[in-house]
């Protein structure tokens, strides 16, 4: 009874002085627009920011002293695979502990189908983080073509995909994503992708692409994504932009010149990037012709794309003792040359997966990018940051991407001012995926916020310890509720599914 009375008294107090809010005082506010920071306070009521700057607490407000640290908009991860384990891990440790408040799934052509059900599930699970989705070309293609996907689609099949895409856009997809280096997307031709991009354009949405090649046929793949933007007349984004082959190293300026020329000609082409010289995917993606017994190709891979000591096995269901070992180490263990090991691992994984469907196959963390290219591409003003990471993945990007940019590249290497880096994690990201009330600290926007220490923030996750939590991310709010504080997740249930039409 006493508790009930106390609650009544609190409510009465709030009524007499307007709704009680929360105010974060004594912070260096970086608002996400790229403007210089200001010192002050941010006040929010419920899920929305109401005042920014020279603001005093109102009666009944909870007051949080920010201790002079930086307060920024929550980071928006435009290319995330954190969605994959979100139902099992709704507190989203890997994401919220690095300051991410919104994740965008459905990338690389893969989506949960149908999105209507995915949004219903999110509403039931109530994760600690906001989630938006693209519609994925690969999954729509599989629904239409089934196992018979290793060919061009017929006009009728493309039409069926277009209908499914329209259904997913109506359900709230941000646009169309493709994964043209993966099965089944790799078997599509440009006309198929263009036809679907036109459906996305008619819905005034957008196109985001893991392009057809990040190595051998890189320039053709860049030409394709620009052509899609020009001909379908919609914004196009290059997912996790990279130059992933030794002969491409040093060509970042050539790429930016090409993209700037396209922009000057009216194509809204942009990119996202994660801050690591190694990617995480499957061994099979290294063979675009899908001939895994082609020794010359295997040797070329090991010479020009990733060295044997740079191919670290993440997952290997056929023999889990291989996990955490490089192809170089396994070649010694198997007493064979590295090309034989590379081909053998793929052969053994496929055989195991055939005998044990759904066992998990294989994955690899492959070092194939050059640091100066990464820096140059992240400095492009139309590049936003992403993680490409997962909550339970083998690549450290799932836990470290954003603190790594802030610590390693901004503080230590000074590759860009802090305000610019924050812009590329927030307002630019929001613009690139079509979110309107997130990405800046401004009255009326949702209270997605991150408090961090710019003097100490740094990633701790590594390929050997990919789930190590970062340092310096002090507190994180999603829709006005704390999701991360004192080095621990807080089960807020405040995350939401974000449908395109509601933005």
Q: Which is nearer to Zn ion, 77 or 108 (CB)?
A: 108
Residue among 5, 49, 4, 1 at smallest CA distance from 23: 49
Closest CA to 82 of 118, 125, 129, 117: 129
State the number of binding residues for Zn ion (CB under 5 A). Answer: 2
**Placement of tokens 């089944």 in the chain:** 184
Residue 175 vs 308, nearer CB to Zn ion: 175
Q: Please select the residue that binds Zn ion; options are 108, 139, 224, 373, rule is CB under 5 A.
A: 108
In the complex, least distance from residue 210 CB atom to Zn ion, rounded to whole angstroms: 4
Q: Which stretch binds Zn ion (CB under 5 A): 52-60, 126-134, 209-217, 368-376?
A: 209-217
- Supply the minimum distance, in Å, between the C-beta of residue 221 and Zn ion: 12
Question: Smallest distance from the beta carbon of 73 to Zn ion, in angstroms?
Answer: 25
Instruction: Render the burial of 390-429: b for 16+ CB within 10 Å, e for the rest.
Output: bbebbbbbbbbbbbbbbbbbbbeeebbebbbbbbbbbbbb
Min dist CB 240 to Zn ion, Å, is 6
Contact region for Zn ion (CB under 5 A) — 100-108, 198-206, 346-354, 396-404? 100-108
Identify the three-state secondary structure at position 50.
strand
Q: State the alpha helices, DSSP H only, in 209-322.
A: 218-232, 252-264, 295-300
CB of 181 to Zn ion, least distance (A): 8
Minimal CB distance to Zn ion: which residue? Answer: 210
Task: Please say which residue, 169 or 390, places its beta carbon nearer to Zn ion.
Answer: 390
Which range, of 28-36, 102-110, 116-124, 192-200, touches Zn ion by CB under 5 A?
A: 102-110
Q: Shortest approach of Zn ion to residue 239 CB, angstroms?
A: 5
Rank residues 79 and 496 by Cβ distance to Zn ion and give the closer one.
79
Please, which residue, 108 or 329, has the CB nearer to Zn ion?
108
Cβ of 77: how many Cβ atoms within 10 Å?
32
Cα separation, 129 vs 489, whole angstroms: 11
448 belongs to the binding site for Zn ion (CB under 5 A): no
Q: Which stretch binds Zn ion (CB under 5 A): 92-100, 105-113, 157-165, 283-291?
A: 105-113
User: Taking a C-beta distance cutoff of 8 angstroms, is the pair 199, 166 a contact?
Assistant: yes
| Residue 116: both structure tokens together | 């209507």
- The SS3 of residue 247 is helix
Q: From CA 310, how far away is CA 226, in angstroms rounded?
A: 31
Taking CB under 5 A as the criterion, the residue among 81, 82, 206, 210 binding Zn ion is 210
Nearest distance in Å: CB 366, Zn ion: 13
Tokens of 219: 């320039």
Binding pattern to Zn ion, positions 160-199, x when CB under 5 A? ----------------------------------------
Q: Is the dihedral of CA 156, 160, 161, 165 positive or negative?
A: positive
Supply the minimum distance, in Å, between the C-beta of residue 489 and Zn ion: 27
Give yes or no for a contact between 105 and 112, defined as CB atoms under 8 angstroms apart: yes
Q: Which stretch binds Zn ion (CB under 5 A): 92-100, 104-112, 123-131, 268-276?
A: 104-112
Question: Helices in 367-456 by DSSP H: which ranges?
Answer: 371-379, 397-404, 418-423, 427-433
Tokens of 35: 């403007």
Are 112 and 133 within 8 A, CB to CB? Answer: yes
Q: Which residue has the tokens 């999701």?
A: 483
Site string for Zn ion, 344-373 (x = CB under 5 A): ------------------------------
Residues that bind Zn ion (CB under 5 A): 108, 210
């Amino acid at each position: 009874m006493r508790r009930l009375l106390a609650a009544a008294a609190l409510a009465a107090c709030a009524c007499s002085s307007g709704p009680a809010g929360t105010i974060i005082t004594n912070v260096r506010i970086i608002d996400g627009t790229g403007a210089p920071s200001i010192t002050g306070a941010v006040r929010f009521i419920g899920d929305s920011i109401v005042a920014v700057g020279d603001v005093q607490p109102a009666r009944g407000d909870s007051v949080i002293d920010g201790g002079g640290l930086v307060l920024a908009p929550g980071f928006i991860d435009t290319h995330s695979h954190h969605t994959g384990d979100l139902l099992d891990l709704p507190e989203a440790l890997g994401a919220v502990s690095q300051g991410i408040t919104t994740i965008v799934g459905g990338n690389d052509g893969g989506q949960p189908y149908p999105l209507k059900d995915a949004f219903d599930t999110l509403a039931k699970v109530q994760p600690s983080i906001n989630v938006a989705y693209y519609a994925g070309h690969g999954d729509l293609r599989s629904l239409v073509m089934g196992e018979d996907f290793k060919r061009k689609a017929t006009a009728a099949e493309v039409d069926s995909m277009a209908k499914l895409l329209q259904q997913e856009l109506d359900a709230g997809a941000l646009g169309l994503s493709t994964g043209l280096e993966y099965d089944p997307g790799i078997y599509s031709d440009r006309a198929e992708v263009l036809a679907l991009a036109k459906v996305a354009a008619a819905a005034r949405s957008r196109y985001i692409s893991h392009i057809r090649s990040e190595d051998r046929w890189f320039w053709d793949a860049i030409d394709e994504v620009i052509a899609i933007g020009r001909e379908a007349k919609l914004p196009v984004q290059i997912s996790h932009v990279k130059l992933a082959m030794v002969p491409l190293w040093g060509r970042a300026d050539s790429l930016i010149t090409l993209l700037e020329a396209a922009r000057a000609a009216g194509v809204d082409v942009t990119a996202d990037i994660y801050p690591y010289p190694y990617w995480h995917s499957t061994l099979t993606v290294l063979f675009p012709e899908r001939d895994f017994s082609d020794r010359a190709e295997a040797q070329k891979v090991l010479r020009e794309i990733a060295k044997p000591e740079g191919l670290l096995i993440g997952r290997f269901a056929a023999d889990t003792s291989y996990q955490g070992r490089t192809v170089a180490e396994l070649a010694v263990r198997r007493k064979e040359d590295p090309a034989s090991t590379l081909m053998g691992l793929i052969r053994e994984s496929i055989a195991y997966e055939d005998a044990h469907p759904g066992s998990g196959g294989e994955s690899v963390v492959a070092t194939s990018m050059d640091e100066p290219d990464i820096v140059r591409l992240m400095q492009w003003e139309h590049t936003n940051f992403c993680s490409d990471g997962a909550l339970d993945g083998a690549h450290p990007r799932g836990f470290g991407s954003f603190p790594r940019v802030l610590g390693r590249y901004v503080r230590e290497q000074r590759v860009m001012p802090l305000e610019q880096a924050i812009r590329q994690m927030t307002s630019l990201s929001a613009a690139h995926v079509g979110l309107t009330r997130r990405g800046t600290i401004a009255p009326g926007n949702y209270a997605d916020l991150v408090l961090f220490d710019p003097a100490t923030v740094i990633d701790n996750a590594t390929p050997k310890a990919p789930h190590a939590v970062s340092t310096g991310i002090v507190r994180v709010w999603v829709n006005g509720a704390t999701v991360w504080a004192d080095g621990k997740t807080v089960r807020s249930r405040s995350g939401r599914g974000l449908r395109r039409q509601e933005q």
